[in-house]
Amino acid sequence: MFRHKYFMTLLSVAVFSLLAGQARADFPDVPQDHWAYDAVSYLESEGFIVGYPDGTYRGARTLTRYEFAMVISRLYDQFLTMVEENEPPGIDVQAILDMLMKEFQPELDELRALIALNTARIESLEISSDEVTDSVVEISGRIDRMDKRFSPFGDLTLRFYGVYPDEGLQSQRPFMMFRWGFTSKINDELTLGARLTSGPEGGRQSAFDAFEDHFGYDDINIDRAYMQWRPSGIPGFTMWGGKFSPPWKIAPIVFDADVTFEGLAQHFNHDNFNFYLAELTPVEKGFYLIAQAGYNNLFTDNFNVALTYHYINDDAFEFIRSRMESGTLKSYWDFSRLESPDDYRAFEVYAEYGDTAGELPFKIQGDYLINLEPSASDLEDGNGWQKAAWARLTILNPPREPGDFNFWAEWGKVQANSVLTWLTDSARCSGDTEFWVIGWNYRLMQNTDLAVSYYDLKRLSIDSNSTAIVVDLTSRFN
């Protein structure tokens, strides 16, 4: 593009000069006072134009095409020479650059120094940035490890519990339950756990404290304190020691969800097969042995079964550990409520199945228990083995987001001497009871649920019915 523009400029000047009929001193027919004398003289000196053989310029003569071609040829040769030298004629680029360098040398020196300083600062910042990044990564790793090693959790529940019998005194009272605990991963094999909870000391059925008619202190107890060991050299094996919640499958007619045991428990797992063995020590001479074998996804997905054997030796029923506290006699493990002259032996079958009907998820649970050691009165009455049964249908999954809800229905029947009633959920089954429960759970806000349950209770041995309403407001944190 530059070549064409520059060439056309030269050509225009030459043609204009020729057409104008200009001359210089070498051309006798071009007077010096002619208005185009300087232009003709410059073009002749640069070799763009020459005169006729007789030395004249003949500026008034018409330019022929041959003469025009000669001028263009000379111009183009000169143009190529200038392009090869990479500079237009008459311009000393290097001289101009040297002049500018000399004129702006102080500013250039200052700019070089500033660039060097900024370069050093940038390199220093890069080093500092790398150090900060490494520190942030290290701190984040420590926080992640800390989160994995120490995980606090807890909940606070406010409960309204009202019982309305057909006859007799009605009972309506608010309760409160507070629990706070943590799990701490000591290493890849050992985990510690502990939890504090409200509720009367030594209470086994519930961690709820009734609101009193005075202001004062409430009991806080150690509800859990255990070690969990998963040896890397024994795949599928886990052991608990201390005070812990049952890790095996349970039903509310056998164990209340608030019950924690003291003793040892082992879990063996292989694929879908699970086996639990627990030895619980309620008293000095007695013990409680539980063995459970379970299988997940039996016959089909999400169908799980478990068979459990319960054994308590007779020494556990003879010894009652109790002491006076603040003028009140408190029992800490009392088997005497079960009328049995010998050891307690019970066999339990538990099953659960979950699926979806269309887009509606549901879960069915069931439990059946037989006391293999009937009491003397049961034998006299011809009742034989005492039994307990329970079933539950849950519609929809547990709420996760605000606005989610689910509901359930339960049925149960518990004969008088079938289970250890002080270990069961007393709201459902205190023994000698048939019950129905309908419940609804709603996620009010993040980590806060409202649950409403309606109970219909009927005593089996006497003609007595009652209803109960339980409203729980629970907030959880972790």
Classify residue 144: in a domain, yes or no. Answer: no
> In the predicted model, what is the mean pLDDT of the chain?
79
Classify residue 211: in a domain, yes or no. Answer: yes
- Answer yes or no: is pLDDT of 350 > 90: yes
- Between residues 456 and 344, which one has the greater pLDDT? 456
- Answer yes or no: is pLDDT of 348 > 90: yes
Residues 235 and 329 both lie in one domain: yes
Burial of 295-307, coded b for 16+ CB within 10 Å and e otherwise, reads bbeeeeeebbbbe
Residues 53 and 160 both lie in one domain: no
| Separation between Cα atoms, residue 334 and residue 312, nearest integer Å | 12
Question: Could you read off the pLDDT of 226-274 as tens digits, one per residue?
Answer: 999 999 999 999 999 999 989 999 998 888 877 788 889 999 999 999 9
Residues 176 and 282 both lie in one domain: yes
Contacts for 345 with CB less than 8 Å, ≥ 6 apart: 309, 310, 311, 371, 372, 373
- Answer yes or no: is pLDDT of 319 > 70: no
Domain that holds residue 424: 150-477
Phi, psi of 142 (to 5 degrees): -65, -40
pLDDT at 373: 77
Question: Could you read off the pLDDT of 275-303 as tens digits, one per residue?
Answer: 999 998 655 566 789 999 999 999 999 99
pLDDT at 50: 75
Classify residue 121: in a domain, yes or no. Answer: no
Report the range out of 40-49, 207-216, 222-231, 341-350 with the highest average pLDDT: 222-231
What mean pLDDT do residues 85-114 have?
A: 73
Residues 81 and 163 both lie in one domain: no
Residues of the chain above pLDDT 90, percent = 34
Question: Could you read off the pLDDT of 137-150 as tens digits, one per residue?
Answer: 777 766 666 666 78
Q: Is 32 exposed, middle or buried (0-12, 13-18, 19+ CB in 10 A)?
A: exposed
Residues of the chain above pLDDT 70, percent = 74
Question: Could you read off the pLDDT of 438-471 as tens digits, one per residue?
Answer: 999 999 999 999 999 999 988 877 777 888 899 9
- Between residues 161 and 281, which one has the greater pLDDT? 161
Q: Is 393 exposed, middle or buried (0-12, 13-18, 19+ CB in 10 A)?
A: middle
Which residue has tokens 């409430």?
218
Residues 164 and 276 both lie in one domain: yes
pLDDT at 248: 94
| Separation between Cα atoms, residue 278 and residue 248, nearest integer Å | 10
pLDDT at 284: 59
Residues 78 and 226 both lie in one domain: no
What mean pLDDT do residues 93-108 have?
A: 76
Residues 197 and 290 both lie in one domain: yes
Tell me the C-alpha to C-alpha distance, in Å, between residue 311 and each of 67, 72, 260, 268, 463.
Answer: 130, 122, 17, 20, 33
Question: Could you read off the pLDDT of 367-401 as tens digits, one per residue?
Answer: 999 988 765 445 445 456 788 999 999 999 999 99
Whole-prediction pTM value? 0.65
Classify residue 136: in a domain, yes or no. Answer: no
Tell me the C-alpha to C-alpha distance, in Å, between residue 138 and each of 124, 142, 148, 174, 428.
Answer: 21, 6, 15, 49, 52
In this structure, are residues 157 and 474 in contact, taking their beta carbons and an 8 Å threshold? yes
The residue from 71, 91, 111 where one domain ends is: 91
Classify residue 317: in a domain, yes or no. Answer: yes
In this structure, are residues 456 and 413 in contact, taking their beta carbons and an 8 Å threshold? no
Task: Provide the domain count of the chain.
Answer: 2
What mean pLDDT do residues 96-125 have?
A: 81
Classify residue 107: in a domain, yes or no. Answer: no
Question: Could you read off the pLDDT of 30-74 as tens digits, one per residue?
Answer: 788 787 777 778 777 777 777 777 877 777 777 777 777 777 777
| Separation between Cα atoms, residue 252 and residue 427, nearest integer Å | 10
